[in-house]
Amino acid sequence: MNMILSVSLDWGIGKDNDLLFHVKEDMQFFRRTTMGKCVVMGRKTLESFPNAKPLPKRDNVVLTRSEDYSPEGVTVCHNVQEVLDYVKKYDSDDVFVIGGAQVYELFMPYCNRIYLTKFKASKPCDRYFANLDENNEWKCVMTVPREYNGLEFEFTLYERK
Ligand SMILES: NC(=O)c1ccc[n+]([C@@H]2O[C@H](COP(=O)([O-])OP(=O)(O)OC[C@H]3O[C@@H](n4cnc5c(N)ncnc54)[C@H](OP(=O)(O)O)[C@@H]3O)[C@@H](O)[C@H]2O)c1
């Protein structure tokens, strides 16, 4: 299982149920990487999408504790085990945990690869991701530096050691 996300310099990932950075090249990378795959997310992340609609051409799995939550076009799961059972039909490389903070934390133990876009800027945020550079279980195996309108960022790949 993989994770994909973007972080600020402080490992912030969101504020007011929105992303911190909206950079086209990063959005395109996310789209290309997850297209045709299974994406696992929390209820709040689904609701942060335009009109709270699932991502097209991907199998959208949404985690909630609510028993009567059933938006159109998503597979609803109520706990981690239910998600793990559902995604068994996929090659684990084809499953992407796409957020947010609660769901990244829950699925971290099941992931071996993290596609991380690192923006070289700080922004106010209210959701964070664990600092992988201070975590002995993960190593950065690829870094591709990019820039957009003076904002520097890197496409990186972390793998479990
Ligand atoms: N930077 C990035 O790449 C990135 C990517 C995705 C999201 N984000 C940001 O992350 C923020 C949202 O993250 P978040 O942590 O607030 O919310 P979240 O992880 O998207 O969703 C949290 C919800 O998931 C459900 N949930 C959590 N643990 C559960 C469990 N053990 N069993 C069943 N359901 C469970 C609950 O839904 P119910 O309340 O319905 O029970 C909970 O309220 C937003 O700002 C968003 O923009 C950033």
User: DSSP letters of the chain?
Assistant: -EEEEEE-TT-EEEBTTB-S---HHHHHHHHHHHTTSEEEEEHHHHHHSGGGPPPTTSEEEEE-S-TT---TT-EEESSHHHHHHHGGGS-GGGEEE---HHHHHHHGGG-SEEEEEEESS----SEE---GGG-TTEEEEEEEEEEETTEEEEEEEEEE-
- 75-108, pLDDT tens digit by residue? 999 999 999 999 999 999 999 999 999 999 999 9
Reference 152, options 28, 25, 30, 34; nearest CA is 25
Ligand 1 contact, 98 CB (< 6 A): yes
Index of the ligand 1 atom closest to the CA of residue 104: 19
pLDDT-flagged residues of the chain (< 50):
none
Mutation probe of ligand 1 site: the residue of 8, 15, 44, 55 with most atoms within 8 A of C-beta: 44
Paired tokens of 140? 């950065």
| pLDDT at site 33 | 98
Nearest CA to ligand 1 atom 22: 42
Q: Count the domains in the chain.
A: 1
CATH at residue 133: 3.40.430.10
For ligand 1, atom 32, name the residue with the nearest CA. 79
Spatial strand order in the sheet of 2-7? 75-77, 59-63, 38-42, 95-97, 2-7, 113-119, 151-160, 138-148
40 within 8 A of 76, measured Cβ to Cβ: no
Which domain covers residue 155, as residue numbers?
Answer: 2-160
Distance between CA atoms of residues 57 and 115, nearest Å = 20
Please name the residue whose Cα sits nearest to atom 38 of ligand 1.
64
